[in-house]
Structure 1
């Protein structure tokens, strides 16, 4: 099986163009926001857009729940597609989803800028920001029985593409559904860098590592955590530092739903 990743920032129009990209690259199924989609049908999964909070939506999109992941993995195995399109906000998240579903890592990454103009991307972001509308790339009849939000609207789009493979049409009629997730109705929330620093400070410490000083960098691919520590003299540090890296990454991601790109630990002092 070959996996192709379709990536771009949240709200840039990936789901809106998913079916067209799948058609162009002959992908038989799509993984999008927690769902396994084939053609106009949802085969398995739970939509991230059903979740009451943004953190819950991120966890659903990442298939962190074992039962959710197992259902989708079973359907993928039964379908046995030769090529699958995986939609994500970044390369790192695409690889993480592939690992969660026991899929091969993506062999090709397609950026939203390759299939949409800057004006189209800006318009999609404006609709997301001002109206809180999200697209599920299947007809409304497939969504109504699953979606718990209070806004569902059919969307039939005549999609003109910037380019198309030889022998394929430049435009396609695509049936989709506009929804407004519950978390869009509840307003916004933010997780400050101070909270990330406090979590990392708590998680990194053990009997060998102490007195951490944490710096958080928010990059397009996720968070980078730079941690300066003191380490106890006389004990091999490497296994403790590696365990601390894994502990911090897993803990911060599970508690906040944010992607941790790197955990860099620097030993600045020794204590006896």
Structure 2
């Protein structure tokens, strides 16, 4: 069996990228967060994303529990797997998984940064940190099956609205995802005003609006004061970059879009008269 490893820090979108990577490399099976996925279906294991605490989730993901590891090893031994993709947050974690399951050392380590654009990684982190959503690379029917098995085992009702489907993956919100990030509107307003007013061409910031439902987006309404004949487009581009950098630095938020509307332009009279 040839083993490949995909690694990257938590929330960078490894699970959502796993199916595409497996398809490109002709990989039949995936080990991700405690489960064995074969040809797009969960065939063994229990997802770490259903654990109640982060410590339990980590133990589940590295196959710390002997019965869990033995189950996955037994099923793998029955399947004609020639290539396997192991997903983890670090090379060390992947090595622990490989050891626990008695697998060969990975033939190749692949970082998430090498296959996913930086902007998509930042978006994935934003969704994880603000909405607590985790991806499992198996169809919803498989997740429902796992839910049912856990209901029988624990006699607890765990079906909830905290699931939504995206193609052949399923999004869940684990119990250990831990709250959400809240940024007050007046804080964002102050940051935007400070960044804009560093530009001498910005005479006034009229309005700032923000959207955080899916990806963070910002819209700003401005009045500019410039000499006659000034090219405005380069100023707007510099302003957009400054706003992006400021929000990234202060709040660790990378806006998916920054829309700047120029409400009015004031021509500096004294400079205009000199030019005439």
TM-score (norm 2): 0.59
Q: 1:152 maps to which residue? A: 163
Q: Any gaps of 5 or more consecutive residues in structure 2? A: 148-157, 182-276
Provide the C-alpha distance between the structure 2 equivalents of 1:55 and 1:28, rounded to a whole number of angstroms: 30
Provide the C-alpha distance between the structure 2 equivalents of 1:116 and 1:31, rounded to a whole number of angstroms: 19
What's the secondary structure of 2:96's corresponding residue?
helix
Structure (1/2) with the larger strand percentage: 1
Aligned pairs for 1:1-272 within 5 A? 1-147=1-147, 148=158, 150=160, 151-156=162-167, 175-184=168-177
Structure (1/2) with the larger helix percentage: 2
Per-residue deviation, residues 82-137 of structure 1 (Å, max 9, x unmatched): 11000011111111100000000111001101111000000000000000000000
Deviation (angstroms), 1:24 = 1.0
Per-residue deviation, residues 21-50 of structure 1 (Å, max 9, x unmatched): 111111110000000001221000000001
Query: Which structure has the larger Rg over C-alpha atoms?
Result: 2
Q: 2:229 maps to which residue? A: none
Provide the C-alpha distance between the structure 2 equivalents of 1:39 and 1:135, rounded to a whole number of angstroms: 17
Deviation (angstroms), 1:186 = 6.7
Runs of 4+ in 1 over 3 A off after TM superposition: 147-150, 185-188
Provide the C-alpha distance between the structure 1 equivalents of 2:69 and 2:177, rounded to a whole number of angstroms: 25
Two-structure CA RMSD over aligned residues (Å): 1.6
Q: Any gaps of 5 or more consecutive residues in structure 1? A: 157-174, 189-272
Q: 1:230 maps to which residue? A: none
Provide the C-alpha distance between the structure 2 equivalents of 1:27 and 1:10, rounded to a whole number of angstroms: 23
TM-score (norm 1): 0.60
CA contact (8 A) 1:3 1:83 kept: yes
